Amino acid sequence: MSNLDDILKSRRDTRHFTAEEVPDEVIKKALQAGHWAPSVGLTDATRYYLIKSHEVKSSIKNLFLDYNKKAEELTDNLEQKELYKSLKLEAIEEAPIGLVIAYDRSVLNQFTIGTIGSNEAVKFSSVCAAQNIWLSLTEQGYGMGWVSILNYYQFKKILDLPENIEPLGYFCIGKPATNYNNQPMLQQLHWKQKSEAPICTEIKEIHQINVSPFDLQSENKTQNKADFYTLLQDKIDSKTKPVGSLGTLEALAFQMATVFETLNPKIEKPNIVVFAADHGIANHGVSDYPQDVTRQMVTNFLDGGAAINVFCNQNNIELSIVDSGVNYDFPTNAKLIDAKIAKGTQSFLHVPAMSESEVQLCFEKGKSIVENIARSGSNCIGFGEMGIGNTSTASVLMSLLTGFPIEDCVGKGTGVENEKLLLKQNLLQRAIENYSGQAEILSQLSYFGGFEILQMAGGMLAAFENKMLILVDGFICTVAYLIAFKINSNIKQNTVFCHCSAEKAHSELLNYLEAKPILNLDLRLGEGTGCAVAFPILKSAEAFLNEMASFESAGVSRK
């Protein structure tokens, strides 16, 4: 072939291959074409791994089969389900050669031209390389098929890829056994028709972005509720028990009644909201998990497979999942609250994590989410989070807002140990030393904040305004509370600290806030799990206050 248009039209996602071997010079030429692809900031971050071993191919095939079974269940349309089952979506074991195309995200550890708008620019460069390889193979009379239906975490593990290497997928390479009637295979099999022409719209005008300024000034309103407090305490003390003998349950009952402004408080439509986002600082190796785990776990939440799903189901708690800024485009039909600010923050080691207008937008979106939940009739809301790298963000914010040295604020996060923990601590110290901004909260939040952390803070402030009981999970959620508390200290009246986590900084922060957590179970999972596990204790406090007999009603003598 020599005509470029013919090569482009003939580039097919090949699933059927002959047994013919692929000459080394064909692969060499194709990889060189990939190397010539555009590369943002000349990062040269694309990496290639060739696979010819049948054992390796077999293991990857098993990964595909496992995830493909899950994919079959994603449609409720029986006809579509049967058609999907009939599709050949891979040729992992049949194709003579397997190719893993990946990118090295460690290039982001240094200043990289072209990545300030999106960390994904490095990934896009690798996609350009994949396309060049595809076109080169087509021109040489060969074909390639992209397999992306994989558990990427397990995929990396079985191939023993370094933590900083992120694969685009597995590519099958060989001599095509068919040209699919010169059309895409999925179109030939009537899965979906490809449009005849590109979809292109000319934009002729700009639209202003209007973000309402969120009040970051503290309000300290006090109201005289002495009479109500006296009646409430008398009701608690008159139950058939020694005064104070139910300990923390009595304090929780008093708090609940005070928040709901009734002597007969009842939790209505409890809801735990998990805010998820990615962090630029994760590109510097501060976590034992790759950044893509954020996206994977959000999918797990939506599929009902995470710990928070189990505990919410156990306790009849509504679960809401928020995309605050995950580095991924979720399907528009996903049961997900879309509050995405951007695809992850920038790395605060080099530049501000976000702009001040994005800080304001985070508070606004967090407020809107909670107000919608309050309008549904909920009066109890728990806060959870997910985001690879967010313990680093939380540690820096804690240090800045409390004055504690960073070494007192850094913990294991997702499991960082020993030398890597020291590396994390030193890196965060360097980031703080690099900061030359103002010592006021908006500037600090802009430079070091995380989208999900600031949305939680805005949501907590809104929950207080809507007279909701606020349940705080672990370390990261408590840092979000710290931000909200700095803005309005009255929020403490509505807040229940559900547990003290195994993150060493959490107990320090709770002491700083003079907060008494309900549980200490060495949890450090996040997701709002501490809120869900502590919830039955809140229900016990509610039950004793509303249902337990008084000395008078039971005819029992007081002390």
State the CB neighbour count (10 A cutoff) for residue 41: 18
Helix (H, G, I), strand (E, B) or coil at 504: helix
First vs last Cα of the chain: how many Å apart?
99
> Is 385 tagged catalytic?
no
Both structure tokens of 21: 């071997």
Rounded alpha-carbon distances, angstroms, from residue 382 to 50, 320, 432, 456, 494: 47, 10, 31, 10, 12
Q: State the amino acid at position 330 in one-letter form.
A: F
Tell which residue, 275, 271, 255, 251, has the closest CA to residue 532. Answer: 271
Please enumerate in sequence order all residues whose Cβ is within 8 A of that of 194, keeping only pairs 6 or more positions apart, or say none: 183, 184, 187
CA distance 10 to 425: 52
* Residue carrying the six token digits 């705080």: 472
Helix (H, G, I), strand (E, B) or coil at 406: helix
Burial class (CB in 10 A: 0-12, 13-18, 19+), 196: exposed
Q: Which candidate in 79, 527, 547, 552 is catalytic?
A: 527
Q: Are 67 and 147 in contact (CB under 8 A)?
A: no
Query: Looking at residue 176, what DSSP letter applies?
Result: B
Q: Are 272 and 471 in contact (CB under 8 A)?
A: yes
Alpha helices, DSSP H, located in 220-331: 226-237, 248-260, 292-303, 307-314
List 386's β-bridge partners, or say none.
276
Please enumerate in sequence order all residues whose Cβ is within 8 A of that of 133, keeping only pairs 6 or more positions apart, or say none: 30, 31, 33, 34, 99, 101, 144, 171
List 272's β-bridge partners, or say none.
319, 382
Phi, psi (degrees; rounded to nearest 5) at 255:
-65, -45
| Residues catalogued as catalytic | 527
